[in-house]
Chains A and B, each alone.
Chain A
Amino acid sequence: MNHKTIALLGNPNVGKTSLFNRITKLNQKVGNYPGITVEKRAGTVKANGKQYKIVDLPGTYTLFPNSLDEDVVFDILSNPTQKDHPDLVVVVSEPTTLNRGIILYQQVRELGLPAIFVINMMDEIETKGLIINHAALEKYLQTKVLTTNARTGKGIDNLLSHLDSSPGHYYGALTLPERYQDALAEAKALFPLETEYKTWHLLAQEHPSGTSEQHLAQLAAIRTRHGLHTQQLQKDEAILRHDKVDSDLEAIIQKSTNKKLALTDRIDNLLMHPVLGYVIFFGLLFLIFQAIYYWSGPLMDGVDQLFAALGDQAAAVMPEGPLSGLIVNGIIAGIGGIVIFLPQIAILFLFIAIMEETGYMSRVVFLMDRWLKPFGLNGKSVIPLMSGVACAIPAIMSTRNIENAKERLLTILVTPFMTCSARLPIYIVIIGLVIPDDKVLGFSLQGITLFVMYILGVVGALGAALLLNGFIKSVRKSYLIFELPTYKMPDWKNVLNTVWEKSSGFLIGAGKVILAISIILWVLGNFGPNDRFSDPEKYIVQENPHFTPEQVDNEITAYRTEYSYLGYLGRGIEPVIKPLGYDWKVGIGLIASFAAREVFVGTVAVVYSLGEDLDIEDDSQKQTLFTRMKSEINRNTGKPTYNFASGISLLLFYAFAMQCMATIAVVRKETGSWKWPLFQLFFMTGVAYIAALIAYQVLK
């Protein structure tokens, strides 16, 4: 039997997610709606002897969509063939903004869906100075009105017992203006089976989902004939409803002083202060990044040791041979390479979730919009750009609440310039090799260089945005409007749930790609096309007749790497990277890095035959790699491979190049085509190549 589907719908900031977590008792799944990356949250709950499927719809103020998130809401509610089309809608609201909740509720009912109404955050009703006449509200809404407090769980059982309710017939509250009646009548003829209000939506939206091309053209023709614009129809509905609901509610709600607002006011005077506001925000950012590095250190060491031990264990159990090599050096090392970033990502998302939950994030948007607008970005771009410092994948996913398509696209395109945590190990190794360990004015020169690399990421992102801003056309005019919620203590359940979701999402999403790449790399590095690979001793002895058997043995791994498929690939691209100051060995690292940057250190370690499970945090092992890399001679130039010029060139290349398959995959999903990820790949790598070329040619 089919379970009943219940949809939770409501404005942002009404505690809908907390309510969802309470109802489903965290028995939920986060996936994507088909074809797009809008997060879909669904869960199940048993009540009244039945099982219900609960769908948590993205927060919205209206059924007229302004963003991808809101497209999903209209699609699910208006389209009965949709898998998640609900049997009952639970409209969630909170006491202060009841009028906006009611507007959404009315739209749902007029679309023809049964709905009940929930007032959440009932605990705040007193401090907010409100008295609601419950019976009058039920009569007005023609449905059951329930009250809950999702933070304490009060009222949840009562809500569950009402999931089977079927409210009676609904008499529409909105009379559409006379001057639209003719156009509406024509539209109705096109859709004889739809409710009047659904038809109105089809007429008042530019691209209503689930509508055929032919119908879209016919609807556009009706609008042209009557000289109508979609925004104007939506605006008129909004004003009509607001006026009506506001005057109707006067008899239902009594208002006195809102104490909550007074507190928010006092905090805002500090946090949104034209000078102090910025000081506090940047101070906080600094603290967050300190915490990310400081707290994640021991955790990362732990992960590293765990995987090293796991690798040793596997190597001990399995007979030596190619299979053991694949599992130990390919799979276990590959997975370890992703898990190691998990602590940083979890800590970053902990802070972001707290900032969102308390309401501070929208203050950041307020402070930053002015400074991002000239670059074609939006105040809301701050969140993806900040998250990009941990990892571009979740960062790009967080762009979906940017309404303007162009600003969203630009944010997606430039976010990968931010210095993500995968670049860090490479920077550490190369800076250690080419920047002297000196102090300038009491600061470590190497530390300053690392800081400059982070600044370079920001400059790269903003510069690229500025450049691309001129080329990408905007369909709609850019605008920004957002609500600043009153400050609240974070709901810790929500915070932990978000951290868990984002971290596990990253692990699984990026993990699959990196695992596949590790295996491919391993295969390419461990097989060769001819007997130079399979029988290296013969050639080594031929070329170096004076070698002792021991020296021959030492040479074998390096020789094999050179004549493996990977070695041939490295030498194949050598002509291209020669002007940047690299040799074929670095080339192998670069090729491998196009899968994921973090592979570089492991790969060059293999090329220099040091074994892949090298730990750069471990000082003695770091020294081994450093000594080996320092003594490397570039056979094209006769100079050390890692000298100042080629080192800077390499740093610049890694700062700008698009070398992350997982990011490309996410961009493809978010933008819906290969056009943008491919553009990004060539654009970013092109910038990287030119920057590295100039740096090397000037410095050499």
Chain B
Amino acid sequence: MQNKISLDKLKKGEEATIVAFHSDELPAKFYELGFTPGATIQIKHKAPARGPICVTIVKDRTLVAIRTAEASLILTSRI
């Protein structure tokens, strides 16, 4: 499916559903803050020069920021 894309490649404003994780290395804190499989997210802000990415966890209505490095481990499917 060409719609599958890692989170860091999504553009500002795009919505996507988290499908899977590329690696087990992601700390448990990511899951605790709402990055769980099936969760819908929306990209809110991207800091310049591949800086952190700020996303909304749609169901929690919270804003969470992560680094590009970890975002690239999260596989999503565009909505």
Contact = CB atoms under 8 A, between A and B. Distances in A.
Nearest to B31: A238
Given A480-B67, A481-B65, A484-B54, A234 B28 contact: yes
Contact of B45 (A275, A366, A371, A481): A366
A479 B32 CA distance: 15
Contacts of A96: 60-62
A10 B22 CA distance: 31
Contacts of B51: 366-367, 369-371
Given A258-B61, A482-B64, A242 B34 contact: yes
Contact of B63 (A66, A255, A264, A480): A264
A238 B32 contact: yes
A225 B33 CA distance: 30
A594 interface: no
B63 A484 contact: yes
A560 interface: no
A232 B24 contact: yes
A66, A275, A370, A486: residue with the most chain B Cβ atoms closer than 10 Å: A370
Could you say which of A103, A237, A274 has the most chain B C-beta atoms within 10 Å of its C-beta?
A274
Nearest to B21: A235
Contacts of A498: none
B72 interface: no
Given A239-B36, A268-B45, A379-B52, A480 B60 contact: no
Nearest to A359: B63
A272 B24 contact: no
Contacts of B37: 239
Interface residues of A, number: 49
Contacts of B59: 246
- Among B44, B47, B59, residue most surrounded by chain A Cβ atoms (within 10 Å): B47
B60 A100 contact: yes
Contacts of B70: 479-481
A656 interface: no
Contacts of A370: 47-52
Interface string B60-79: 11111111011000000000
Contacts of A232: 24
Contacts of B30: 481
Contacts of A379: 52
Contacts of A264: 63
A160 interface: no
Interface in B7-54: 24-34, 36-38, 44-52, 54
Contact of A483 (B26, B46, B64): B64
Contact of B33 (A275, A373, A483, A486): A483
A154 interface: no
B48 A481 contact: no
B62 A62 contact: no
A486 B64 CA distance: 11
A99 interface: yes
A231 B32 CA distance: 12
A97 interface: yes
Contacts of B27: 66, 231, 479, 481
A61 B33 contact: yes
Nearest to B30: A481
Contacts of B60: 96-97, 99-100
A64 interface: yes
B61 A477 contact: no
Nearest to A373: B67
Contacts of A229: 24
A258 B57 CA distance: 13
A274 B48 contact: yes
A265 B13 CA distance: 12
A258 B50 CA distance: 30
Nearest to B67: A480
Contacts of B67: 369, 373, 479-480
A258 B58 CA distance: 11
A369 B52 CA distance: 7
A236 to B, nearest CB: 9
B32 to A, nearest CB: 5
Contacts of A369: 47, 51-52, 67
A242 B63 contact: no
Contacts of A371: 51
A178 interface: no
A27 to B, nearest CB: 33
B36 A243 contact: yes
A367 B53 CA distance: 10
Contacts of B38: 243
Nearest to A232: B24
A481 B32 CA distance: 11
Contacts of B32: 61-62, 64, 100, 103, 238, 242
A261 interface: yes
B65 A482 contact: yes
Contacts of A366: 45, 47, 51-52, 54, 65
Given A264-B63, A366-B54, A483-B64, A242 B47 contact: no
B62 A97 contact: yes
B33 A480 contact: no
A242 B26 CA distance: 17
Contact of B47 (A265, A274, A479, A486): A274
Contacts of A235: 24, 26, 28, 31
A362 interface: yes
A481 B55 CA distance: 11
A366 B63 CA distance: 12
A475 to B, nearest CB: 13
Given A99-B60, A371-B51, A483-B63, 4 more contacts: A66-B27, A97-B62, A231-B27, A481-B33
17 contacts: A64-B32, A66-B27, A97-B60, A231-B28, A235-B26, A242-B31, A264-B63, A265-B44, A272-B47, A274-B46, A366-B47, A370-B47, A479-B69, A481-B33, A483-B33, A483-B63, A486-B63
- Going nearest first, the 6 A-B pairs with the smallest beta carbon separation are A370-B51, A234-B28, A238-B31, A484-B63, A274-B48, A272-B45
